Each structure stands twice: as C-alpha cells, then as structure tokens.
Structure 1
C-alpha cells in the first residue's frame, strides 16, 4: 500500500481502536497507555504510515532550512551545540529552526511534526529517550534526512553522530582504578545518557575484577549544583567511597562544595570526576577532572553527514546507515 494513501482510519480499523485513540497515540499523548501506543505504532510502522504534513513535505523542493531539536537550553553543552550548528549551517547557506522539547516525549513528537510541516530539508536532534523512535524510523524509511546527536546504545536504524558516553565513563573509572581506588561511587539520574555512563562505569569495574556495590550509586533528579550538594552527603556518610564519578560537572562541583564545608579534603579523602568539561570545571577551587564533550567535532561531523544525506535523497540506495562514535577525552586536573 502506498505510504501516502494510508490514513488513521485504516490503522483504527486494523487495530480495533477509535480514530481519536489512534490520533492521540500517534501524537505521543500521555493519555494513551504504553501498551495501546505500542500496538498502534507497530501497526503504523507495518502500514508505512506517515502524517499528512510529512507526506506533503516529502515532495517539496529544498527550503535551505535545517531543523534542530534539543532537549533543553539551560545545559551549556547544548547551548554551545546550537551555536556551533548555526555557524556551520550559515557557511553552507542554510538557516536554522530551533525547537526545544524540555525532555518531553510529547513535545518532541510535536517538534518533529512542526519541522517537517515547515518543509525543513533535514533535522539534527537530541532524542528524548526512546519514546518517538517509531516516528523517527518512519521519517528515515521515507528518505527524510535526520541525524541523531546521541545514540551510543540506541537500537534504531537511523544515522547518529555522538560522543561515546559509555567509553567516557569507562575511562573515568579506569583512571580512578589506576590511582588505586576500589570504592568508586557514581552519582547520576535515570535518563538514557546517564544509564550509558553507568554502563561504562560498571564495565570498568568488571574488567578490573572489582565487585559492584549498588550502595555506591547515588541518584539525582536534576543536573545542577544543588543536586550534587544534596546527593553526596548520604552517599559519603553511609558507604564512604574514596572517589566519585558524577554524570555532570555541575553535580560534581556541588558535591565538592559540600565536602569543603565539612573539611573533607579533595582529592586526599575524596576524589571527583565530572562530565562535559564546562568552563567552571577548570576554575573551581580544586580544578575538576572531567570527561570532555567535543562539541565542535560532533557538530562538524553531524552537519557534514546531514548535507550528504540531503544530496543523496534522490538515490537512497547509495546511502548506507552511519553511526559515528566520537571517543571523549579525559581532562585530568587536581580533583
């Protein structure tokens, strides 16, 4: 069946759900259960359904506009990413249309629909977990150029250019192990990025025959100074790690502040490694060792690949899938 002829009515008839339920599920509405959504998305994928706005855009001419989807702008790495992409696109004669999802799957689904309806020539995006992978796959299957800016462990058949967070955490933990640490803590959230980092941390422990103690893992809801400040106390006072990996520099800096207020010497009593290598890391009272996120390399390779995909759109058979993993660098300082 031709992709452009498929309507939500056909999906409703095939699945037995109402058209309204199908519509809400395709939009990622939280009103629809995960089980119902999974059935509807599977049917949509089987029928090669794409929204009308997507179908219309696929036959339009180039607009020289690229859509950018980011999860937030408060994160300095994402802000720098947006700035780098904009400068690179300008040099290639493209404009940028920026959408922020606030880490919401529903807002991400809406952002994808808006950008495609505006007939952008392609999309660069940080995905929100895996909620909209079926929608992203539909775009890819219909030859729409889309590049993920994360994707180390993502099981989705689309192009991705990403910093290997798992490798970065593996190197951080290995650095501590080489320094003689065995009780290595980990502070992070439950998002996909932090899970990748935790997997690297766990792999380093396993490869060095250090038993994993789940009590050494502390959880945070956010990624700011206050999150690290509040998380380190219970962890340090209960299980006494000698070193801690934090999934963001700001978490590490907040934790270090808690230590200084209590006379805990860094790194003599407790060592820290953060992620991203933000400017504040190098200017901290005790300069923070950090896993550097190479924004310039990611944006350069991602925009180059997107331009290639736009040019190859008329001949998709010559465009094999690419997942470009960029190995991060550990910037060693005094923490």
Structure 2
C-alpha cells in the first residue's frame, strides 16, 4: 500500500493540515516546514490522491468534449488544437463521440458530467435534436459550443463565419471565369451544412448563368464521388463545383480524374475547412481555411472566463475564415 498524507506528515514532523497545504501549493506554510514536507514526500514516493483532491477543491482540472465523428479530419485536428490549449493551462481533456446520433450525444455528455468535468465543449451533431443534451450540460457546468451550434442562447459559441467563406470561394471562381456553378454539400441537419447551403444560394444569385444544381448528401468522400458522377452523367458539366467541405471535394476530384476531366481547365473545384489532405490532393485543393488554433484559443479563453465568473455564458464569437488558393481553381 502506498504512503498516505498522514505518513508524509509524520515523517516531516508536521500536522496533516500543514502537509496538505504544502503539497497543494497553498500559502501559510513556513519555508522550513515546506522543505521538510517535500523531502518526506520524495523519500516515501508519495503520490497524491487526485480524486480526493478533486472532491476537496470541487475541481478536477478536466474539460469534457463531445464531437460528432473523430474520423472526420477536421474534428480530429480541432480536438488536438483544444488539447494543446488546455495543456498550457494545466488541464486535461476527456473526449466522447456522438457518431451524429443525438441520443448517443446525450449519453456521452451525461457520462462526462458524471466524471465531474469542470466544463464542456460540445459540437452539436444536430441543429435541433441536440438541444436537450446541450441544455443539460449548460445547467451543470460552463459550456461552449464549437463550430456547430444550436438556435437560441443555449450556451456560448465559437465558430467560423460560413457565409463569408462561401462568398469568398464564389467570388474567386467567378473571377477565374466560371459562368455556371453546382453545389455539393450535406443535408442541412447541422448548422454548418445549413449555413453553407443558404450562403451558396444567396451568393450564386450574382451569376448570369444557372445557379445549380444543388446536390445534398453527407460530409464524406463517398458522397463527393457519387455527386460528381451524377454531374458527369448529366447534360452539362458546370464551370465550377463548390463543395460543402474538403472531404466532399476530395471525392469530387477523384471521380473527375477517373473520368478524364481536367481540373481546373474543364471544371474548377473548391472545398471548405483546409484539412491536411487538401494540400496533398491532385491537384491541390483551393479551399476555405478555418483557423483552428485561433478558434481553440477562443473556446478555452471563453471557458476559463466562465469558470472564473468573468463573462456571460451566451457570448458568441464568429471567426472570419481565409481563402487558400491552390491549383484546383483557375488563376484570376
């Protein structure tokens, strides 16, 4: 059995309270007593009981996070960015995945709350059905929605300005000579898919030519391939295909390449997110970069402020994304 705080106190010749204050870094311990306690802890190989400490301080120094799908490269790198930010503040991350199922999402949030996380970061998998899970979280601990969001002031939110991103890519392909467009996105079950679809429809009205077609599926390479095949089998291939995210765009590029279509000479292709694979595509993909490090810093800052009571729990921050021009679009 390992050494206890009582053993450390006895070896150092101080009270248990003094040993506890010394090891937790609290003030009020004389320097000579502090040194004796540290020496005793080293000699006894004392390991503090993190659970007991958490119960005493009512903090676990852990943040919970629930994402829709960790296999999505955007979410994977977002988790990494959040974890790096938390480590700088001496906090740990506990992760759950909803698999785009609001019922699973609710169970994952409840499990994290049962583990007494200090706060929660949620990426709501459904713009309506995720409300109960997010509301549960926000009534128990400081909660911030990241990337995806719910309607109403359920909790704070940090994400990208989807409208600004879609406008940038449409203006870019029009400047590159496009006169007809198609949009390949995801069915609008979450806020990003809905906002990018709405933004495309508004921005495409500046075209003299046709605004469509609009093809909706999910955020996967397989759907991108299927959608591109439908466009190839149609009457006319558009001058540019605007995709709802990079994984869809990668599938579109694959299908076009297999059919001998030249990108960007025959058709321009754009993505959204700037995942790592976008630059490695053939040709490299023009896309909208979401500044993940900046977003992660904003989320952690918002949670830290909420934990200290220094800010409102429903503040919203929309970050302007950046157009990254690569070889899948024509030069302006």
Q: 1:320 to 1:118 in 2, by over 3 A?
A: closer
Structure 1 residues 329 and 73, CA gap change in structure 2 (3 angstroms): same
Q: How many residues align?
A: 270
Q: Give how far 1:284 is off.
A: 2.3
Q: Deviations over 1:269-317 (max 9, x none)?
A: 11000112122221222111011121111111101110110111xx7xx
Do the aligned residues in 1 keep the contact of 2:143 with 2:155 (CA within 8 Å)?
yes
Question: CA contact under 8 A between 2:219 and 2:244: conserved in structure 1?
Answer: no
Contact 2:180 2:209 in 1 (8 A): no
Tell me what 1:179 maps to: 176
Q: Choose which of 241, 247, 252 in structure 2 pairs with 1:244.
A: 241
What residue is the counterpart of 1:17 in the other structure?
A: none
Q: Is the 8 A contact 1:291 1:331 kept in 2?
A: yes
Structure 1: runs of 5+ lacking an equivalent: 1-56
> Structure 2: any 5+ residue segments left out of the alignment?
1-53
Pick the structure with greater CA Rg: 2
Aligned to 1:324: 317
Corresponding residue of 2:24: none
Partner of 1:26: none
Please give the per-residue CA displacement for 1:4-51, whole angstroms capped at 9, x wherever unaligned: xxxxxxxxxxxxxxxxxxxxxxxxxxxxxxxxxxxxxxxxxxxxxxxx
Contact 2:106-2:132 within 8 A present in 1 as well: no
2:77 alignment counterpart: 80
Deviation at 1:151, TM superposition (A): 4.4
Q: Structure 2 CA distance, aligned partners of 1:117 and 1:139?
A: 11
Cα deviation for residue 60 of structure 1 reads 8.1
Residue pair 2:253, 2:282 contacting (<8 A) in 1 also:
no
Q: TM-score, normalised by structure 1?
A: 0.74
Give 2:135's aligned residue. 137
Deviation >6 Å, runs of 4+: none
Secondary structure, aligned partner of 1:181: coil
Task: Tell me how far apart the structure 1 counterparts of residues 209 and 275 of structure 2 sit (CA, whole Å).
Answer: 32
CA distance in 2, matches of 1:120, 1:275: 32
Match of 1:47 in 2: none
Q: Distance in 2 between matches of 1:270 and 1:177?
A: 12
Whether the 8 Å contact between 2:182 and 2:214 is mirrored in structure 1 is: yes
Aligned-pair distance for 1:175? 1.5
Let me know the Cα RMSD of the aligned residues: 2.4
Contact 1:218 1:235 in 2 (8 A): no
Give the conservation status (yes or no) of the 8 Å contact 1:232–1:258.
yes
Assess, with a 3 A threshold, how the Cα gap between structure 1 residues 222 and 163 changes in structure 2: closer, same or farther: closer
Shift of 1:182: 2.7
Q: For 1:293 and 1:71, locate their aligned partners in 2 and report how far apart those are by CA, in whole Å.
A: 17
